[in-house]
A and B are shown apart, each in its own frame.
Chain A
């Protein structure tokens, strides 16, 4: 069997951006990985955890921990959910009998772009038309995972993509889970500023790697009649680099078929040992300066 990874879709991707999830899976499959998507998965537990409902969060997180028994990397197309699992599961399970299992899972969690760049070193070939896009950096990817340059490094590989930076790329969009509905006026002011920042770039697409931000900024853009399309970066990357034939080929064939897709030679075997070194491309939390 080729090297396997788990994919943790997250509840927002599952219900609102499933094509972004599929695109993430296809991007991994193209690198020769076998992607396993446990159908029992639901939500990482972050909404309740952040609101102070730890017991409820733990019950839901516990159900997730049980779904990833093999020592494979767990790839998450969301900085926020990845941060919940990597940074907060050990704390959430402190003093619980299943702490070892939760901590072991935490140590295997990778945000998608971090994994694509830092572990797989993917090489992308742009097949799309020239386009101008902008990028919103999500707070938790930036500050809890230390994922800063990886998404932009992926976009930089696409020859026909012009990335115009937001004036305040690192400023929160105002989502914040229940914050958006507990303080709709403040959150609304934050997202209005973000949408104006997006509009000022002249981009036709707003890319992000967190669906909470996309729901928020996208909802504001739509409400204000903007034509800017909000999209998860995985969907954008896959659409522009997928083979022209359309339907994805089986993973095994894909690995060898796409020129330049496997940086380390021969597809599946290139990815080596069972668990990619955890921490690659993930500096210590809270590091860095604006």
Chain B
């Protein structure tokens, strides 16, 4: 959690004032949406595939404890060492212990959002280990000492010129250029050397297959394969929810993930990792370790409705389609997972008292629900979190449930209820508003917020109730 965790509005407002952020995100998101839509052009196929994807993920979660046990057994049988971590601290310690055992002081990383949850680079840096991001977007972000602004495209907030400037300043011996191929070449030269020098490679996991003990990792740059095959030790990091039951569950999920994430039918590399280098094999790591992190997930798992949060396959499509994310960008959320999925995941992991702003930072437009490839009812969960943030619900599994209670808001809704639950009280209010509401009102509170961008709403001189009566519309 960062210092600005509880102040999304302030950071979002700052982001809105930066025309570069809005332009960069708008352009990038428009492109992603168009590419995705072109690949899901047949609505019937899309609906059938996402229903299948949702069912696979729901089934996996329904059997989560057994599948995790099965995964551990199969992985061990395949020669993959399995490490369980309940907390981020335990996961970091597990990674460091493996590195120390091999005397590794330099690691290369493929992309991993779990490692972002762990703030692993900072942790390793503090313990004398250089951790270098090898995904181009992650590399750019790391070079500029930033965090990812999108879970799939970490550097999407930057345009070409910003990256050119960054490389010119930060890469030793680099000549300033805006040529994309030349820029990619620069990063490639740095990274190639690092792959050779690294004592270990780290990666994320897209899916882990319980029946076979296979780790599925997809990517487009080949850095994932390099990170997991070139260094002598590979450490894979996954959240407990990434397990699926069978190998045959993977293809539909990949079809959904690739198309939803980047508008590709398939990624350039699909890695199926099922163990370290075998006898007689010429490449691959000598050791493979799998660190399985909980970090609040098992708590989410306990609630049948909130559990849907864990279906997420991290495609990022909800961000691409979100009218809020598109305008404020990922950094405004001050969270590892921004956008709609972050709005439901972050408060559940960090607590609704700490993060009560996030579930409210949505117009509930449902664009995310419409495109989620595993049918997560994001808006329903947002409302649930709004409710449990302000109301102590007996038996709630939501962290800090009821601790974001605002007595002023309680009073406002109690008053609203009194006015609207009684026809008589409503008639009185409606009379007052229609007769006096056209007078200029003091611009305070909600009205002040409203009128910053808009004129004040003006009640009609007579309500529909009155018009209906006058024009002979039957009552009851």
Chain A residues with a Cβ under 8 A of chain B: 7, 9, 11, 13-19, 21-22, 25, 34-43, 45, 47-54, 56, 59-60, 62-63, 67, 139-140, 142-144, 170-172, 174-193, 215-216, 218-220, 222-223, 248, 286-290
Contact = CB atoms under 8 A, between A and B. Distances in A.
Contacts of A22: 464, 467-468, 471
A52 B406 CA distance: 12
Q: Specify the main secondary structure of chain B where it touches its partner.
A: helix
Given A172-B323, A181-B450, A290-B370, A54 B455 contact: no
B153 interface: no
A139 B363 contact: yes
B362 A188 contact: no
Contacts of A54: 387
Given A143-B366, A179-B364, A290 B473 contact: no
Contact of A16 (B324, B459, B469): B459
A129 B100 CA distance: 81
Contact of B375 (A51, A175, A190, A286): A286
A181 B453 CA distance: 11
A186 to B, nearest CB: 6
Given A16-B458, A52-B390, A53-B413, A288 B465 contact: no
Contact of B361 (A37, A186, A189, A289): A186
B468 A21 contact: yes
B365 A18 contact: no
B391 interface: yes
A179 B347 CA distance: 18
B356 to A, nearest CB: 10
B468 A223 contact: no
Contact of B365 (A17, A49, A176, A193): A176
Contacts of A41: 423, 465
A62 B421 contact: yes
Given A48-B416, A290-B371, A191 B463 contact: no
Given A184-B452, A290-B321, A176 B370 contact: no
Contacts of B454: 188, 191, 215-216, 218-220, 222-223
B394 interface: no
Contacts of A188: 452-454
A9 to B, nearest CB: 4
B386 A51 contact: yes
Given A52-B383, A52-B391, A184-B449, A47 B416 contact: yes
Nearest to B468: A37
Given A18-B463, A38-B475, A60-B417, A140 B366 contact: yes
Nearest to A68: B476
B327 A190 contact: yes
Contact of A15 (B366, B387, B434): B434
Given A48-B413, A176-B365, 20 more contacts: A9-B468, A15-B437, A18-B464, A22-B468, A22-B471, A34-B474, A36-B473, A37-B468, A53-B387, A139-B366, A144-B366, A174-B363, A181-B450, A183-B9, A185-B13, A188-B453, A188-B454, A215-B454, A286-B370, A290-B367
Contacts of B417: 48, 56, 59-60
Given A18-B463, A36-B474, A222 B455 contact: yes
A49 B409 CA distance: 13
A9 B475 CA distance: 13
Given A14-B464, A35-B473, A139-B363, A52 B453 contact: no
B360 A185 contact: no
B68 interface: no
Interface stretch (B39-47, B271-279, B283-291): B39-47
B422 interface: yes
A178 B360 contact: yes
A74 to B, nearest CB: 13
Given A43-B420, A63-B421, A290-B37, A187 B453 contact: yes
B369 interface: yes
Contact of A14 (B22, B390, B463): B463
Contact of A139 (B324, B328, B365, B462): B365
Contacts of B459: 15-16
A41 B13 CA distance: 39
A288 B387 contact: no
Nearest to B456: A219
B414 interface: yes
Given A52-B391, A176-B362, A18 B460 contact: yes
Nearest to A143: B366
Nearest to B328: A186
Contact of B327 (A25, A42, A189): A189
A186 B468 contact: no
